[in-house]
Amino acid sequence: MIVIGVLLFGACIFLHELGHFLSAKACKIRVLEFSIGMGPKLLQFHRGETAYSIRALPIGGFCAFEGESGEEPAPPGQDEAAGADAPAPPQYDERSFCRQPAWKRLLVLVMGGVMNIVFGLVLMAVLLAPQEAFASTTISKFTEHSPMQAAGLLPGDRFVSIDGYNIHTDMDISVALSLADPDHVDLVVDRGGQTLSFPDLRLLSQTVDGRKMVQMDFYVYPIERTPGALLQKTFANTYSVERMVILTLKGLLTGQFGLNDVAGPVGMAQAITQSASAGLQSGFGDAVSNIVNAIMIITVNLGIANLLPIPALDGGKILFLLIELIRRKPLRYKTQTVVETGFMAALIGFMVIVTISDVLRLATGTGLGG
């Protein structure tokens, strides 16, 4: 099952790089290599001008374009000091990445993340299509002895926010309540067009993996399944997953989440495996559904993370491109190289730490975070 998990994670990477590849080919940009995986080559073959590779480490992939760095060697005899900031005479042909107009380079850079997000939309539709009805964000009834009902909430109330987290879908409700402190929850609901606040509620709780979490004490109205509702729900739920990814990334930066809350390729493969195993306990269909759900979250995660303005990622290259548009000239090649190399080294170091933590968690049940 771990092998299946790694292959499925590799499929997400493949689609990401395919987005770069297809957009580059459509823009007539020369692609030197299309690689799945990093590190030493396990397999390589050539088709036309492009080398296709599978590499040993399943932690990423890349598309290498001619002239991607933008560095153009100075002609013999040119004074480097005098021409350090001046662009060198073009020495790449018209199909090189660095010779393309800004809109083409931007398109190629964003299409990797876009492909992941589009794949997430497709998987979300696959998950929703078999459902007889969809969940709304409006309360239909409460469980017996419900703290929410005792606090004054009524059937027909629609959730607006939970602890400041805006609610648009039932997935938002689940995310917000999973992070809330059961003893101090702030709710805002819409009741017939009127916004009502219920601050500092103490809700039912349950302990999951040693952590105290809110236990839902209400049900929501169903939404009739129609083609229009399926389309709307697909986009809304995928947007909710994107918000969840961004919330998680913010939590990592602020210290809300620790190392044990982060998963690399090994951890993601383990998550897929665990989802499949849990589903098999109730049936093959549930196992498939759990796997699709895990892949959907992972592919959206990859798409969003790669578009962040971090050097060494697609978003960092987009940032450099935007700076170039503002300055009307590119940053010095050495400046870009130093920044990207530093961030790449930090990213690789972080991935190594996360992978070690994943392996320890797989072997002992506890990662580096304790």
pLDDT tens figures, 20-45: 999 999 999 999 999 988 888 999 99
User: Picking from 10-19, 88-97, 130-139, 176-185, which range would have the lowest pLDDT averaged per residue?
Assistant: 88-97
In sequence order, the 6+-apart residues with CB closer than 8 A to the CB of 222 are 133, 134, 135, 136
| pLDDT recorded at residue 257 | 65
Sorted by where each starts, the structural domains of the chain and their CATH numbers stand as: 101-130+226-370 (no CATH), 133-224 (2.30.42.10)
| pLDDT recorded at residue 58 | 74
Percentage of the chain beyond pLDDT 70 is 78
pLDDT average, residue stretch 344-368? 69
Q: Report pLDDT digits (tens) over 55-107.
A: 887 777 889 999 886 655 444 444 444 444 544 444 678 899 888 998 999 99
Determine which one of 17, 71, 324, 340 is catalytic. Answer: 17
Of residues 141 and 292, more confidence is placed in 141
| pLDDT recorded at residue 89 | 45
Percentage of the chain beyond pLDDT 90 is 44
Distance CA 158, CA 90 (A): 61
Length of the chain, in residues: 370
pLDDT average, residue stretch 282-301? 78
Active site residue 17: yes
| pLDDT recorded at residue 225 | 93
Cβ count near 338 (within 10 Å): 12
pLDDT average, residue stretch 321-347? 81
| pLDDT recorded at residue 4 | 65
The mean pLDDT value of the chain amounts to 82
Residue 122 pLDDT > 60? yes
Distance CA 272, CA 85 (A): 49
CA–centroid distance for 204 within its chain: 31
* Angle subtended by helix axes 284-306 and 102-128, to nearest 10: 160
Q: Report pLDDT digits (tens) over 192-212.
A: 999 999 999 999 988 876 778
Of residues 328 and 243, more confidence is placed in 243
pLDDT band for position 157 (cuts 50, 70, 90): very high
